[in-house]
Structure 1
Amino acid sequence: MRALQLAFRRHLDTTPSAYLRRIRVDVPREELSWQYHDEYGKPPDETLRR
């Protein structure tokens, strides 16, 4: 297990648990952005700039 943690730290500069947390947040956020774009015809950040 320690070897896995060291490999993550060396190659991704993070721990396995931090990587999974990031994936769990980033994937739904991207999907939500695409759904917003499909619904309103522009990305959410463009709406926020107004």
Structure 2
Amino acid sequence: MPPGMESNLNSGSVKVIIHRPIEGNDAEKLCTDARNVIADTLLLHGYGVH
């Protein structure tokens, strides 16, 4: 946010999706799995992944 704009409010909506926990001990695999779940959910709801 640009300096001086902290008090500005923008109208809109936010949708929060809580996914099932991802279990494991390998940090790289956990990150990859989390990214894949997020990307799949974005695509499911009509948002492209860049």
TM-score higher than 0.5: no
Output the TM-score relative to the length of structure 2. 0.44
Greater helix share, structure number: 1
Output the TM-score relative to the length of structure 1. 0.44
